[in-house]
Amino acid sequence: MSEASELAARARGGVTGARGPEDIHAVARLPGEWQRLFAEIGEREYRAGQVFRAIHGRGVLDPAEMTDLPAALRTRLAKSGFTPPATVAEVHRSADGTRKLVLELAGGARVECVLIPMTKSGADEVDADVGAAVEDEGDEPESAGDEPKQRVTLCVSTQFGCAMGCVFCASGQAGLVRGLGAAEIVAQVLIARRYLEANEYLRNLVFMGMGEPLHHYEETARAIRLLGHKDGLNMGPRRITVSTVGLPPGIRRLGEDFDGKVGLAVSLHAPDDETRGRIVPMNRRYPLAELLDALRRYPLPKRRRMTIEYTLIEGVNNSVGHTRALVQTLRGLRVKVNLIPMNSITASDLGASPKARVEAFRGELTRAGLSCFLRTRRGDDVSAACGQLALSSELVRERRRPT
Ligand code: SAH
């Protein structure tokens, strides 16, 4: 047991086993939890805020570097088991400006996150996903010189591997190894921020990397709370989009817990149960009627829309019939459609829809009055494109969580 756990257990009259703030990773503790912990172990209360701000405001992940704290407290924090949740193992830069970071977690597992500068056209992936929705927030930072700052979106992973098994996605081919703790999710953001250029700023966050965020709800929700805290990154839920395979129970909880403010992207990929069941196995557990019902009830704020992701796979879901059926399926929902040409993965023979078919598909949706964006391929020269974040053998160092 760590020193903090011991002290806290003693302060609670020797009751061990109950989950208290000392059992939560330091980077995942909310300000109130730091306060409770410090009260229990006899540290001054104002220090709680100081530590939270150091981590989530300044991005300091090692207590030894919190030089504004007394040396004794720094040592105490280090002894209590506060170590950086992740360190940078590799950085890959794509010719298009996308940066993929490979982070090493405690125990040796490696996860990836991707920084994506927004293109000027405004019609690419994440502008389409979240840009329109946050246009009116009025929180643009000061411009650097004459040029306004360049917006960057960060794509983070929530699990190591994935249990959903979508047939066209590399992430799930080896199944789920483990979910990431909120500390590991937030650390991706705090570390990736260091790789922004001087003229860039982190505008949006998408939970679209490896894993299914709603299959791992508690840690995902805690990460959203930490990221949105005003004493930390202050990245409110409106600047965050959670991408889900479509788990109705998770969608309902997310809607309730954050009043519908967290952006929602749903990996629909097909307009009918028959087609969807073939490529998204989860559809057999939660058929379209149930998923669409959860989407209809999601308490989206006025003027916001959810994103429907549709990966176009040749000969599977890209026919004229599919387009027409999709228009029917989406009737009555406040959505924009994000078409993604399938990126090839080694584990599957499925392939991308030809360009002309993609354009025809898009044209038909647009004519039916749906707003529709084509997700441009970003970072595929560094294997950072959608569905390419895999558990490649070099990413799997150790399959078990350290104890
Ligand atoms: N579990 C989440 C996040 C997955 S990755 C979800 O299902 O939404 C983000 C998006 O990329 C999803 O829409 C996913 O279906 C899509 N995707 C996965 N593999 C892909 C591939 N090979 N080509 C194109 N898109 C892919």
Please give the distance, rounded to the nearest whole angstrom, from the Cα atom of residue 99 to the centre of ligand 1: 19
pLDDT at position 346 is: 85
Chain mean position to CA 199: 24
pLDDT at position 195 is: 97
The CB of 329 under 6 Å from ligand 1? The reply is no
Please give the distance, rounded to the nearest whole angstrom, from the Cα atom of residue 389 to the centre of ligand 1: 10
Active site residues: 112, 386
Q: CA angle at residue 255 from 340 to 368, to 5 degrees?
A: 40
208 confidence band (pLDDT: 50, 70, 90):
very high
Bridge partners, residue 176, by sequence: 161
Q: Answer whether residue 396 shows pLDDT above 50.
A: no
d(CA 355, CA 282): 28
DSSP 255: H
259 confidence band (pLDDT: 50, 70, 90):
very high
φ and ψ of 105, to 5 deg: -95, 165
Q: Which helix (H) or strand (E) holds 150?
A: strand 150-155
146 confidence band (pLDDT: 50, 70, 90):
low
List the one residue out of 130, 184, 175, 176 whose CA is nearest residue 156: 184
Higher-pLDDT residue of 145 and 269 is 269
Q: Which amino acid is at 84?
A: P
pLDDT at position 386 is: 65
390 confidence band (pLDDT: 50, 70, 90):
low
Q: Answer whether residue 320 shows pLDDT above 50.
A: yes
Of all atoms in ligand 1, which is nearest to the CA of residue 169?
19
Please give the distance, rounded to the nearest whole angstrom, from the Cα atom of residue 386 to the centre of ligand 1: 6
Of all atoms in ligand 1, which is nearest to the CA of residue 269?
15
Give the helix ranges, DSSP H, for 71-136.
71-79, 125-126, 132-134
The CB of 172 under 6 Å from ligand 1? The reply is no
Q: Answer whether residue 296 shows pLDDT above 90.
A: yes
The CB of 343 under 6 Å from ligand 1? The reply is yes
Q: Answer whether residue 82 shows pLDDT above 80.
A: yes
φ and ψ of 392, to 5 deg: -70, 160
The CB of 157 under 6 Å from ligand 1? The reply is no
**Weakest-pLDDT range from 63-67, 141-145, 381-385:** 141-145
The CB of 226 under 6 Å from ligand 1? The reply is no
**Residue 200 · residue 117 · CB < 8 Å:** yes
Q: Answer whether residue 190 shows pLDDT above 60.
A: yes
5 confidence band (pLDDT: 50, 70, 90):
low
Q: Answer whether residue 362 shows pLDDT above 70.
A: yes
pLDDT at position 344 is: 86
Q: Does the pTM exceed 0.85?
A: yes
The CB of 244 under 6 Å from ligand 1? The reply is yes
Q: How many CA atoms lie within 13 A of 346 on its CB side?
A: 6
**Which residue's CA is the nearest one to ligand 1's atom 5?**
208
pLDDT at position 1 is: 46
Give percent of the chain with pLDDT exceeding 90.
74
Please give the distance, rounded to the nearest whole angstrom, from the Cα atom of residue 277 to the centre of ligand 1: 15
Please give the distance, rounded to the nearest whole angstrom, from the Cα atom of residue 196 to the centre of ligand 1: 25
List the one residue out of 346, 398, 385 whose CA is nearest residue 100: 385
pLDDT at position 133 is: 35
Burial class (CB in 10 A: 0-12, 13-18, 19+), 25: middle
Q: How many CA atoms lie within 13 A of 366 on its CB side?
A: 11
The CB of 280 under 6 Å from ligand 1? The reply is no
**Weakest-pLDDT range from 9-13, 41-45, 398-402:** 398-402
d(CA 371, CA 307): 10
Chain mean position to CA 77: 28
**Which residue's CA is the nearest one to ligand 1's atom 2?**
244
Higher-pLDDT residue of 380 and 153 is 153
315 confidence band (pLDDT: 50, 70, 90):
very high
Average pLDDT over residues 195-211: 96
User: Which residue of 113, 157, 169, 280 sits with most ligand 1 atoms within 8 Å of its CB, as the best mutation to test the pocket?
Assistant: 169
The CB of 243 under 6 Å from ligand 1? The reply is yes
Q: Answer whether residue 130 shows pLDDT above 50.
A: no
